[in-house]
Amino acid sequence: MADERTHRSHDTRAEDVRESNDSWTPSSKLPTPDPQDGWVFRWIRTSVMGQSDNPNVSQKFRDGWMPVRAEDHPELHIQSDINSQFKGNLEVGGLLLCKAPKEKMDARNKHYQDLAQKQMESVDNNYMRENDPRMPLLRPEKSTRTTFGKG
């Protein structure tokens, strides 16, 4: 009547541990919508400390940003702000999800990159104008060498 049992030393906990490759990460406060060809997404500030920021919203709309409708992105699972002035859109914590055509935003980015490049060239030209060959502002890097004795 004795049951055939395996000896306890043969049991391992490794067999009982469930392996999981899924690690938990906290959800984002501002989720990213699924990418759409030809569109760029961005969260636009609509209020600061509870005060409406209409000038910022107006400027962004003039720049080509358009509010995103909530029904267009059900994957985001967002409950919009209760007192939102943008009903039917995705607004969270004073930020409104907007989209703009990619070509227009690429042109905007190129404009600001060119502007930054011109500013850097201006600074470099102004700096180099002060340069004097007798006492150069920029010196070539000196090289040092370490040698070890023979032995």
Kindly report, residue by residue over 64-91, the tens digit of the pLDDT. Answer: 999 998 888 888 777 777 777 888 888 8
Q: How confident is the model at residue 151 (pLDDT cuts 50, 70, 90)?
A: low
SS (H, E, C) the chain: CCCCCCCHHHCCHHHCCCCCCCCCCCCCCCCCCCCCCCEEEEEEECEECCEECHHHHHHHHHCCCEECEHHHCHHHCCCCCCCCCCCCECEECCEEEEEEEHHHHHHHHHHHHHHHHHHHHHHHHHHHHCCECCECCCCCCCCCCCCCCCC
- pLDDT tens digit sequence for 90-118: 888 888 999 999 999 999 999 999 999 99
- pTM more than 0.75: no
What are the pLDDT digits (tens) for 20-77? 677 887 877 788 888 889 999 999 999 888 888 899 999 999 999 999 988 888 887 7
**pLDDT score of 118:** 92
Query: What's residue 140's pLDDT?
Result: 56
